[in-house]
Every structure is written in C-alpha cells, then in structure tokens.
Amino acid sequence: MLHPNQILRQRYRIELLLGQGGFGAVYKANDTSLNRWCAVKENLDTSPSAQQQFQREAQMLTRVRHPNLPQIWDYFIEPSGQQYLVMEFVQGVNLGKLVSQRGALTQAQALALALRVLEALEYLHSQNPPIIHRDVKPENILL
C-alpha cells in the first residue's frame, strides 16, 4: 500500500487512496514533472507471471485512444516487483456510488450511459489483438 506524500519514480506524489480491490489499489497522484493530476493503479500481485502479464497489458493500453476511456500515460515495475500504471485522472463519481446515493437511473439515463460503455467496449474489442476489459462494473464507470 502507498501512503500520502509518497513519491514514485521521483515524479508521482501520492495524494489519496481512491479505491481498492482484491488485485490492486488506485490512488490520486500529482505528476510533479508535468504538474497535472493523474491516477496511479498499483497491482498487488508481484509474481513473475503477473509482471509479464502487466508488461504486455500496459504496452497495449498505452495505444488506447477513445473519449470514453482514460488515457494511459506511463507504466513501470519497481525492483520490489510492484507494478504501476499511470493514467489520466477522471474527476467524477462512479456509477455504483451515484445509484446508492440517488437511486436508480431513469431509463433514458441508463440507455445513454450504456451506449457510452458499449462504444468503449466495441473500440477495445476491435483492437488487434482485441482488448478485454475483465472488470466492467458500476464502481469502474465514472460519470
């Protein structure tokens, strides 16, 4: 786990934990070189096979360019085996939190949101090789 004010790569200053799951954690950070906010995703599986998979996936994701997907800016593996993906910080609330706070979306809202999600998935699946998201859930859909 990372802590506030911790610096990665002499560049990314961790601000706060945004979310955590079974395989990793996501932090809001400041890219001190470019003076912009970013999200840093930490992969908690440090096994050699996880590092190889991370390297392959990160290289693929750096080429992704779609308005409904955050852009990947950097990735690296520390000598300890910890893997980090640095991406565009998207300001907003996730769909799961929004629904728990405000209740169900209207049919029109749900359809409009589903269309944007499906456009992003169609784009990912059309890449060569296809990119499979593997973790589409309300908590990972930011509004």
Q: Which residues participate in catalysis according to the annotation?
A: 135
Distance in angstroms (rounded) separating the CA atoms of residues 120 and 11: 30
Residue 14 CB neighbours (<10 A):
19
Q: Which amino acid is at 26?
A: V
Contact 134/125 with Cβ under 8 angstroms? no
**Extended strands (E) in 1-71:** 7-8, 12-20, 24-31, 36-43
